[in-house]
C-alpha cells in the first residue's frame, strides 16, 4: 500500500485485516467498551479518526484476572516455544508494515518514513527477542562447601504493566512486550490517550497470533484512557513491574506509587540532549546530525537534540551552516514524503512551544531562526509550527527544562572539551549525548568516567535514534531504566540463587558447627 497524502481509515483497517477500532479494552479474543468515549483526532488535518472507550474499573479488574490466569499457562511453555510465538508476531508485522506505519504517521503526526521506521523497530526487537529466547542464562558458581553446587537462574515476574507515550506509539510497547513475552511474562498495555488507535491495532494483530496457536487470552492485554487508568495499574500489587515512558513529572508519580508497594519500575523519562561541537568537528556531519536531531518527529523524541554546544572558534561557521539548512526544511502533511517536518501532537503542545520561545527571549536569548504557528491551506489542524533556533545560555531556566517541540538552543563554549562537558552535564536530565570531533583524545575524554553523564554517548553521530542491540535509557531525571537490547531482559525476570547438596552430610556455610 503506497503512501499518499490522503488517509482513509477503512482502507487502512482493511489492509491491517481489522474490523474496527471502536473499543478500548481487550484481553485478546474479548473486547470491552462500557467506558466513556475517547476521541482520537489526527494532528495532520484535525479530523476525527475514530472514538474508543476508557477502561472502567470493572473492565480493568477483568483484564488483570484474565492476565493472571494466562500467566500460569504461559510461564510453563519453554522459552524457545515462546520465542516461536514472537517470531510469528514478527512475520505479521513484516507483512503489515506499510498500513501500520501509515496509521502511526497519521495518528501521531510523524513522517511516513518515520512511521515505517517505527514499525521496523518492532520487527528488529522481535528478531532480538527470538534469539534471546534461547539465551536466558544464569550463572554457575563454586560453593565453599564440598559436595554442593550453586547457581543462579531467572524466572518470569508475572504481569508487566506498560505505559507508553504518544511520540513512539508502538515501538516502545514492542521493546517491552517482545522481551517480556519470551521471558514468560504477560503484558497489560496502556497506550497514550493521544494515540489509542495504534495500540488497538497492535493488540488485534497480537491477539490473532495467540489465537492461531490456541493459547489462552490474557497474554497480551490492552487498557485505554487517561492517568486514572494508569493509576489503577501503578497501585495494583498484582503488577510486579510497571514500565512507564513519558515526562519526568509523570515518572516521579509512577515511581512513588509503585515504590510504596515495593514494586519494580522501568522508567524512560525526559531528555535534554546536547551535541558538543569541537574545533576538530566535521561541519557537514555536524549539520546533518544536529538538524535531524532537532526537527525529526517535530522535535518530539526523547532523544531530540535540544542544545548545540559549539566552540567559540567555529561558532559562527556552525551557526551559519545550521541556519542555512533550516531554510531548506519543508513543513507539511507527514504522509507526503517530500516533507521533512509534520505537526506537533496537539494544540496544547503548540502552546508549550510558543511559551518556550517567548520565555527564552525574556531570559535574554536571541532568536535567529524565528518560529511561529503555520496557518492556511494544509495547516487547518493548528498543530504545524516552524522549527526555531535561539542563541541562549545553558543556565536559562527554559534551557534547563525539556520542551517537546522543535526548538534548538545554540550555546557557545571556550576552553577545552571539559568546559563543554560541564555545560552538557549541567542539566537535570541524562538521556542522550553526542560529540562531533576528529580528535581521538576529545572523543575518549567524552566517553570516559569523567565525560558524558548520559545513558547514551555517541561520537560523530547525533543524539537521536538508537539501535535495538544496545540497552536504551538514561540517568538522573531520565529515570535510570534500560529497555531493548543488551541485558535489559533481566528487569522482566526475578533472580533466584540455588544451592544443591548432593552428599549425605549437611555442612553449614562459613564453617559454622551445629551438631546434634
Active site residues: 268, 302
Beta-strand pair 432-436/273-277: parallel
Whole-angstrom distance, CA of residue 445 vs CA of residue 9: 51
Q: Locate 453 and state its grid cell.
A: 553523564
> Is the separation of the CB atoms in 163 and 243 below 8 Å?
yes
Beta-strand pair 388-391/48-53: unpaired
Q: Which residues of 329-340 are buried (b: 16+ CB within 10 A; e: fewer)?
A: eebbbbbbeebb
Helix axes 171-183, 79-95, angle to 10 degrees: 150
Per DSSP, the residues of 89-131 read HHHHHHHTHHHHHHHHHHHH---HHHHHHHHHHHHHHHHHHHH
Whole-angstrom distance, CA of residue 216 vs CA of residue 352: 44
Of residues 54, 173, 135, the one with CA closest to residue 484: 173
**Residue count (the chain):** 516
Sheet arrangement for strand 25-26: 31-32, 25-26, 220-222, 186-190, 159-163, 241-245, 264-268
Beta-strand pair 264-268/37-41: unpaired
Distances (CA, A) of 509 to 6, 131, 320, 455, 497: 71, 38, 69, 39, 15
> Is the separation of the CB atoms in 410 and 369 below 8 Å?
no
Whole-angstrom distance, CA of residue 286 vs CA of residue 462: 8
Q: Give 3-state DSSP helix, strand, coil % of the chain, rounded to 5.
A: 40, 20, 40
Extended beta strands in 281-384, E state: 305-311, 366-369
> Is the separation of the CB atoms in 411 and 310 below 8 Å?
yes
Whole-angstrom distance, CA of residue 210 vs CA of residue 72: 15
Residue 162 Cα to chain centre, angstroms: 11
Distances (CA, A) of 516 to 505, 506, 510, 513: 13, 12, 18, 10
Amino acid at each position: 500500500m503506497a503512501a499518499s497524502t490522503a488517509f482513509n481509515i477503512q482502507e487502512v483497517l482493511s489492509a491491517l485485516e481489522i474490523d474496527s477500532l471502536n473499543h478500548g479494552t481487550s484481553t485478546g479474543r474479548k473486547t470491552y467498551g462500557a467506558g466513556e468515549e475517547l476521541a482520537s483526532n489526527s494532528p495532520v488535518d484535525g479530523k476525527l479518526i475514530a472514538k474508543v472507550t476508557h477502561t472502567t474499573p470493572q473492565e480493568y479488574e477483568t483484564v488483570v484476572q484474565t492476565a493472571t490466569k494466562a500467566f500460569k499457562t504461559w510461564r510453563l511453555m519453554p522459552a524457545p516455544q515462546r520465542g516461536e510465538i514472537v517470531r510469528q508476531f514478527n512475520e505479521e508485522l513484516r507483512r503489515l508494515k506499510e498500513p501500520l506505519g501509515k496509521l502511526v504517521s497519521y495518528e501521531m503526526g510523524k513522517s511516513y518514513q518515520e512511521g515505517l521506521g517505527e514499525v521496523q523497530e518492532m520487527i528488529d526487537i522481535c528478531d532480538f527477542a527470538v534469539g534471546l529466547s534461547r539465551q536466558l542464562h544464569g550463572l554457575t558458581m563454586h560453593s565453599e562447601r564440598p559436595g554442593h553446587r550453586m547457581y543462579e537462574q531467572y524466572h518470569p515476574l508475572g504481569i508487566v504493566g506498560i505505559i507508553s507515550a504518544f511520540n513512539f506509539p508502538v515501538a516502545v510497547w514492542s521493546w517491552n512486550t517482545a522481551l517480556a513475552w519470551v521471558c514468560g511474562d504477560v503484558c497489560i498495555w496502556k497506550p497514550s490517550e493521544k494515540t489509542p488507535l495504534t495500540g488497538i491495532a497492535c493488540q488485534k494483530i497480537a491477539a490473532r497470533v495467540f489465537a492461531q496457536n490456541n493459547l489462552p487470552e490474557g497474554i497480551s492485554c490492552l487498557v485505554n484512557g487517561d492517568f486514572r487508568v494508569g493509576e489503577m495499574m501503578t497501585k495494583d500489587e498484582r503488577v510486579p513491574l510497571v514500565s512507564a515512558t513519558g515526562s519526568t513529572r509523570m515518572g516521579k508519580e509512577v515511581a512513588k506509587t509503585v515504590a510504596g508497594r515495593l514494586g519494580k519500575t522501568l522508567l524512560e523519562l525526559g531528555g535534554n540532549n546536547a551535541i558538543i561541537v569541537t574545533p576538530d568537528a566535521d561541519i557537514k556531519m555536524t549539520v546533518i546530525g544536529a538538524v535531524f536531531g532537532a526537527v525529526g518527529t517535530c522535535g518530539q523524541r526523547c532523544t531530540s537534540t535540544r542544545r548545540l554546544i559549539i566552540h567559540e572558534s567555529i561558532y559562527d561557521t556552525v551557526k551559519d551552516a545550521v541556519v542555512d539548512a533550516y531554510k531548506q526544511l519543508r513543513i507539511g502533511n507527514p504522509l507526503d514524503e517530500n516533507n521533512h517536518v509534520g505537526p506537533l501532537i496537539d494544540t496544547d503542545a503548540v502552546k508549550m512551544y510558543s511559551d518556550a520561545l517567548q520565555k527564552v527571549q525574556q531570559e535574554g536569548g536571541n532568536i535567529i531562526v524565528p518560529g511561529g504557528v503555520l496557518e492556511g491551506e494544509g495547516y487547518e489542524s493548528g498543530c504545524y509550527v516552524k522549527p526555531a533556533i535561539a542563541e541562549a545560555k545553558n543556565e536559562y531556566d527554559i534551557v534547563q527544562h525539556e520542551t517537546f517541540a522543535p526548538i534548538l538552543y545554540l550555546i557557545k563554549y571556550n576552553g577545552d572539551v571539559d568546559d563543554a562537558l560541564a555545560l552538557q552535564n549541567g542539566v537535570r536530565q541524562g538521556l542522550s549525548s553526542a560529540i562531533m570531533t576528529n580528535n581521538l583524545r576529545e572523543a575518549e575524554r567524552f566517553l570516559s568516567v569523567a565525560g558524558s553523564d548520559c545513558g547514551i554517548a555517541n561520537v560523530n553521530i547525533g543524539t537521536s535514534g538508537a539501535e535495538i542491540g544496545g540497552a536504551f535509557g538514561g540517568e538522573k531525571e531520565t529515570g535510570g531504566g534500560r529497555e531493548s537490547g543488551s541485558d535489559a531482559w533481566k528487569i522482566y525476570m526475578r533472580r533466584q540463587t540455588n544451592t544443591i547438596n548432593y552428599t549425605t552430610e549437611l555442612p553449614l556455610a562459613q564453617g559454622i558447627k551445629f551438631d546434634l
